[in-house]
Amino acid sequence: MNVTIWNEFRHEKQNELVRSIYPDGIHSAIAQGLRDLDSGLDVRTATLDEAEHGLSEAVVESTDVLFWWGHAHHEAVSEPVVERVHNAVLAGMGLVVLHSGHFSRIFRRLMGTACSLRWREAGERERLWVVNPGHPIARGIGPFIELPNTEMYGEPFIVPTPEEEVFISWFEGGEVFRSGCCWRRGNGKVFYFRPGHETYPIYHNRQVLQVLANAAHWAAPHGERVSGIHKAQNVPAEQAREKIVRKGGSVHQPDGSLGGAMQ
Amino acid sequence: MNVTIWNEFRHEKQNELVRSIYPDGIHSAIAQGLRDLDSGLDVRTATLDEAEHGLSEAVVESTDVLFWWGHAHHEAVSEPVVERVHNAVLAGMGLVVLHSGHFSRIFRRLMGTACSLRWREAGERERLWVVNPGHPIARGIGPFIELPNTEMYGEPFIVPTPEEEVFISWFEGGEVFRSGCCWRRGNGKVFYFRPGHETYPIYHNRQVLQVLANAAHWAAPHGERVSGIHKAQNVPAEQAREKIVRKGGSVHQPDGSLGGAMQ
Amino acid sequence: MNVTIWNEFRHEKQNELVRSIYPDGIHSAIAQGLRDLDSGLDVRTATLDEAEHGLSEAVVESTDVLFWWGHAHHEAVSEPVVERVHNAVLAGMGLVVLHSGHFSRIFRRLMGTACSLRWREAGERERLWVVNPGHPIARGIGPFIELPNTEMYGEPFIVPTPEEEVFISWFEGGEVFRSGCCWRRGNGKVFYFRPGHETYPIYHNRQVLQVLANAAHWAAPHGERVSGIHKAQNVPAEQAREKIVRKGGSVHQPDGSLGGAMQ
Amino acid sequence: MNVTIWNEFRHEKQNELVRSIYPDGIHSAIAQGLRDLDSGLDVRTATLDEAEHGLSEAVVESTDVLFWWGHAHHEAVSEPVVERVHNAVLAGMGLVVLHSGHFSRIFRRLMGTACSLRWREAGERERLWVVNPGHPIARGIGPFIELPNTEMYGEPFIVPTPEEEVFISWFEGGEVFRSGCCWRRGNGKVFYFRPGHETYPIYHNRQVLQVLANAAHWAAPHGERVSGIHKAQNVPAEQAREKIVRKGGSVHQPDGSLGGAMQ
């Protein structure tokens, strides 16, 4: 299975503290962690400042599951790349959105909502409870994950009702958050996973990496991508599965297109 | 309750057949039908070629439920108006999307998917079965609605799994379609209703109008609109409901903003 | 709207502490609180030790929304009454299940799952966060409800994925819980609300009572109850909406019943 | 993967027509079909008139996915076996319910609803449309399955809103039906698949068998079964993850049980 880890990769270049935790970038830490944990994943990386943000057609086409970490430069991701990734998800590619990626263009586009939340950066304790113990993403995790220092994200999280919830977080400062949420969009699966701040070593935590490996397997497509998902396919009357006779008027031409005057 | 019926309103000006069925436009037919059926609805209309497409801030702000009919000119709807309507839905306004509005910018934005389907215009018979008899949108409808002549829409309909389904259609030519679907997005409700072609008198059918009146009541907001839904609200450590002490580093400034070098 | 508050009503008779908080029983406290808050509700009560547990056919038939509080005597509720309430919900009656009612026969029957959870009785602080601010059940509540002393319920809560979530709880001892969950079953609506312990004055809390009043309005049926929901209705070939000719063999008699030898 | 096909297996013994189509029983036809199609499935069978209906603890314990076909003798399935299967599903076993199994005790128990529908036995044509082309259960099926002769099942199908829909059926006589529906219950998955009548050779159809093989893979558990799902686990105050001090009164004993007088 081909996994691509996408990272904004600017904090690590600009900030000493972030660099001390992720010297080769968050993407490299996740990639290495996944390789170490799960030999079934073929992991590569891509970052914002590469050509086409490292997400050329060839890369996206050959990616089974894309991970997305962004924070301060969501708007720097170009429209063609957002559209390419969006189309790939609808056609079957899996997408795992990490932490501050909740405000990324691709996540907001797939959700159709604001994706906003409350937040606080105080290094407080977080405990992610497994609310769905039989779910493949929770496999091997036990009843909860405890993280000693995290940024808080609090409800309300303005997303469509999750189709499945895997984790809900408790925070030391008194908030809760739906931290592991699943949706299906077209033929693709989307998983949002909350932990992952740039100034705490979250992606060195073995349980967090196990969740990410599990999520890759969960989000992977079944079979080939479905093409042509954006097109409204016309089915002429003579090709109907049941015999019908065309009745009534139309503003369409016989080929299904709208006549010139209508456009 | 304030209802606004939005219509592209070009077919009716350009095409004799459409004009013969809807001489004052589809919007006027629906508006009059709703007024006749339900005195609790205060109904007005808006169309594409008005200033701001008839959807000024004042209109959108004072609309409880917006109906949307578009077909051949979805891309002519300006980005500011799409964004205004999108924000209004997330804040609590109801939206009822009609027929070929499945490809409208606002519906695609709210769904996050392609919203595509198969179609055929042959004037065939359609029967919409009520699959959820206790649902308020089906109130007073009986087991089904039969329409003698309709355009066919066939599955797969590429939308997120509906949170509630009210109608599924049977077509003479052999297809099926999820014709009445409910979603919640932010604080707003969205209902998609399939019937409604420009060359058949669908919006003169009393059962169809009853569904639209029911849908207006279902989609209406409870209480005031929620403002600020797009903002990620910072909760400083000293305002946490539980006493916490700030730990660890940050790339943020004390006010929650990112430092200049980070942006 | 007719609301019936059902209570096991044994703790209050047997235990001094419970009686000191709810001298006339939990049901009476809720009933009075709802009457004080919302003049649109016609509230009556019923308890386990009355004939038919106070839930005769006439009572259930005329109840729009039933509230259910039980704890130590779930198995004392008779099968005919469980079945009567179950049928009423499927036909359209609303049901609001409170606190330890998660293990009641009627809730388990409607959910089809174990409805188990983790728990601790230590009088700890609970904060219920509104995760769905536009939901009618959260109307007038603000961002959260704080309860100084509650019994803890912790995840995993073994219920079907809620169709809508309104509240998620934070507990002082470190757990979280999906505390306000909505489901639809047949034509009826079900709301589970977590707070409500017998040894804390939860049902004297004004926000809690507001949630219960809101829940009554949310769960109330639209229109008349649907009868005959358990029957598989036979539609003879000659009554099909489309003309068909009967083909093939059958183990059924012409009237749809199975022949004697088959039963 | 261990698959067990359960069949009522009485029609085949009592009725010449059924026997001519399924000489060794519906279970044997499905079992052989699955073995022929998918060498990854280890398939065995069980029937009503065996001891414990062929579903001893050892059989259920070692079954990954159970298929269920019943029709005229649902009430002959004993309570202990229904409970055993129910518990196994909640703990992680997959369940695929076939055709008239919609009225089986195990399906009604898992759904919590009437599971009723409309029906007609006229040997009419059915076309199952794939509404979710990326779903693993639809893999390799194409846009639809056509069956020349089937019993009709029509909406409304009184089940909880499906979490995922894979197929919707069109019937020659004018009805529609949600023919392939997915739910999660506890840690187990449930798939209902409509086709499968006793007097038509449905289970000799290769596409139908492909769906059943796909469903077995979809419904199979991830990892080990979760035990103790029915128990409400007490977490004493001193074992809370966050330090808390016990406050307030209780009707419980220190070990979490209710005192004698309370029971």
Distance of CA D226 to the CA centre of its chain: 19
Residues near C69 by Cβ (< 8 Å), separated by ≥ 6? C5, C6, C7, C8, C26, C27, C30, C98, C99, C100, C101, C196
pLDDT tens-place string over residues D50-60: 999 999 999 99
Mean pLDDT of C60-80: 98
pLDDT at C254: 65
Would you place residue A261 in the very low, low, confident or very high pLDDT band (cuts 50, 70, 90)? Answer: very low
Given a cut of 60, whether residue C263 has pLDDT beyond it is no
Tokens 């065995």 sit on residue: D44
Mean pLDDT of B121-136: 95
Please say whether the beta carbons of B126 and B170 come within 8 A.
Answer: yes
Mean pLDDT of D158-166: 97
Strand, coil or helix: what is A243?
Answer: coil
pLDDT at B100: 97
Given a cut of 70, whether residue D261 has pLDDT beyond it is no
pLDDT at C261: 43
Would you place residue B240 in the very low, low, confident or very high pLDDT band (cuts 50, 70, 90)? Answer: very high
Strand, coil or helix: what is B263?
Answer: coil
Hey, which chains touch C, using 3+ CB pairs under 8 Å?
A, B, D
- Please report how many Cα atoms fall inside a 13 Å half-sphere around the Cα of residue C214, on the Cβ side: 21
Given a cut of 50, whether residue B262 has pLDDT beyond it is no
Given a cut of 90, whether residue B197 has pLDDT beyond it is no
Mean pLDDT of D66-92: 97
Of A258-262, B32-36, C118-122, the least confident: A258-262
A92 interaction partners in chain B (CB closer than 8 Å): none
Would residue B229 count as lying in a domain?
Answer: no
D223 interaction partners in chain A (CB closer than 8 Å): 134, 136, 139-140
Would you place residue D227 in the very low, low, confident or very high pLDDT band (cuts 50, 70, 90)? Answer: confident
Given a cut of 60, whether residue B112 has pLDDT beyond it is yes
Q: How far apart are CA A83 and CA A53, in angstroms?
A: 13
Look at A176 and C157 and tell me if their CB atoms are within 8 Å: no
pLDDT at D127: 98
Would residue C139 count as lying in a domain?
Answer: yes
Look at C14 and D252 and tell me if their CB atoms are within 8 Å: no
Residues near A254 by Cβ (< 8 Å), separated by ≥ 6? none
Q: How many Cβ pairs closer than 8 A exist between chain C and D? A: 193
Would residue B51 count as lying in a domain?
Answer: yes
Beta-ladder partners of C177: C169
Would residue C104 count as lying in a domain?
Answer: yes
pLDDT at B223: 80
Of B22-26, D36-40, D152-156, the least confident: D36-40
Q: Give contacts of C 99-138 with A, CB under 8 A.
A: 127, 129-133
Residues near C251 by Cβ (< 8 Å), separated by ≥ 6? C258, C259, C262, D11, D15, D17, D18, D198, D199
pLDDT tens-place string over residues C4-47: 999 999 999 999 999 999 999 999 999 999 999 988 999 999 99
| Tokens at C79, concatenated | 């099968």
b/e map of D1-33 (b: 16 or more CB within 10 Å)? bbbbbbbbbbbbeebeebeebbeebbbbbbbbb
Q: What are phi and psi of B142, to 5 degrees?
A: 80, -170
* Average pLDDT taken over every residue of chain B: 94
**Which element (helix H / strand E) includes A98?**
strand A94-98
What ipTM was assigned to the predicted interfaces of this complex?
Answer: 0.94
Residues near B209 by Cβ (< 8 Å), separated by ≥ 6? B30, B33, B34, B36, B37, B203
pLDDT over 70 percentage in chain C: 96
Would you place residue D176 in the very low, low, confident or very high pLDDT band (cuts 50, 70, 90)? Answer: very high
pLDDT tens-place string over residues A49-91: 999 999 999 999 999 999 999 999 999 999 999 999 999 999 9
Of B113, B124, B251, the CB nearest to A199: B251
Would residue C255 count as lying in a domain?
Answer: no
Any B CB within 8 A of C173 CB: no
Would residue C178 count as lying in a domain?
Answer: yes
pLDDT tens-place string over residues B153-191: 999 999 999 999 999 999 999 999 999 999 999 999 999
Any D CB within 8 A of A222 CB: yes
* Average pLDDT taken over every residue of chain D: 94
Look at D112 and C111 and tell me if their CB atoms are within 8 Å: yes
Any C CB within 8 A of D232 CB: yes
Cβ atoms within 10 Å, residue D149? 18
Q: Give contacts of C 234-253 with B, CB under 8 A.
A: 241
Given a cut of 90, whether residue B121 has pLDDT beyond it is yes
Given a cut of 70, whether residue A260 has pLDDT beyond it is no
Q: Is the peptide bond before D156 cis (omega within 30 degrees of 0)?
A: yes
pLDDT tens-place string over residues D96-149: 999 999 999 999 999 999 999 999 999 999 999 999 999 999 999 999 999 999
Residues near C1 by Cβ (< 8 Å), separated by ≥ 6? C40, C41, C42, C64, C65, C216, C217, C220
Mean pLDDT of D231-254: 87
Q: How far apart are CA B153 and CA B171, in angstroms?
A: 9
| Tokens at C61, concatenated | 């038939």
Q: How far apart are CA A171 and CA A151, in angstroms?
A: 9
Q: Counting Cβ atoms within 10 Å, is residue A126 exposed (0-12), middle (13-18) or buried (19+)?
A: buried
pLDDT at A48: 98
Please say whether the beta carbons of A177 and A157 come within 8 A.
Answer: yes
pLDDT tens-place string over residues A122-157: 999 999 999 999 999 999 999 999 999 999 999 999
pLDDT at A252: 75
Q: Which CATH number belongs to the domain containing residue D161 in this structure?
A: 3.40.50.880
Would residue A166 count as lying in a domain?
Answer: yes
**Which element (helix H / strand E) includes C184?**
strand C176-185
pTM above 0.90, yes or no: yes
> Structural domain tally of chain A?
1
Of D135, D139, D221, the CB nearest to A134: D221
Given a cut of 60, whether residue D254 has pLDDT beyond it is yes
Q: Counting Cβ atoms within 10 Å, is residue D78 exposed (0-12), middle (13-18) or buried (19+)?
A: middle
SS (H, E, C) D166-223: EEEEEECCCCEEEEEEEEEECCEEEEEECCCCCCCCHHHCHHHHHHHHHHHHHHCCCC
Contacts 24+ apart (CB under 8 A), A235-240: A235/B118, A235/B119, A235/B120, A235/B152, A235/B154, A235/B173, A235/B175, A236/B120, A237/B120, A237/B122, A237/B173, A240/B120, A240/B122, A240/B124, A240/B173, A240/B174, A240/B175
Candidates A222, A229, A243: best to mutate against D (most CBs of D within 10 A) is A222
Task: Characterise C62 by phi-psi region: left (phi > 0), alpha (psi -120 to 50), beta (else).
Answer: alpha
A226 interaction partners in chain D (CB closer than 8 Å): 133-134
Domain containing C162 equals: 2-219
Alpha helices in B184-238 (DSSP H): 206-219
Sign of the CA dihedral with C110 first, then C114, C120, and C124 last: negative
Smallest Cα–Cα separation from C124: which of C151, C161, C97, C104? Answer: C151
pLDDT tens-place string over residues C186-231: 999 999 999 998 889 999 999 999 999 999 999 999 888 888 888 8
Q: Counting Cβ atoms within 10 Å, is residue D239 exposed (0-12), middle (13-18) or buried (19+)?
A: exposed
Mean pLDDT of D33-39: 94
Would residue D243 count as lying in a domain?
Answer: no
Would you place residue A225 in the very low, low, confident or very high pLDDT band (cuts 50, 70, 90)? Answer: confident
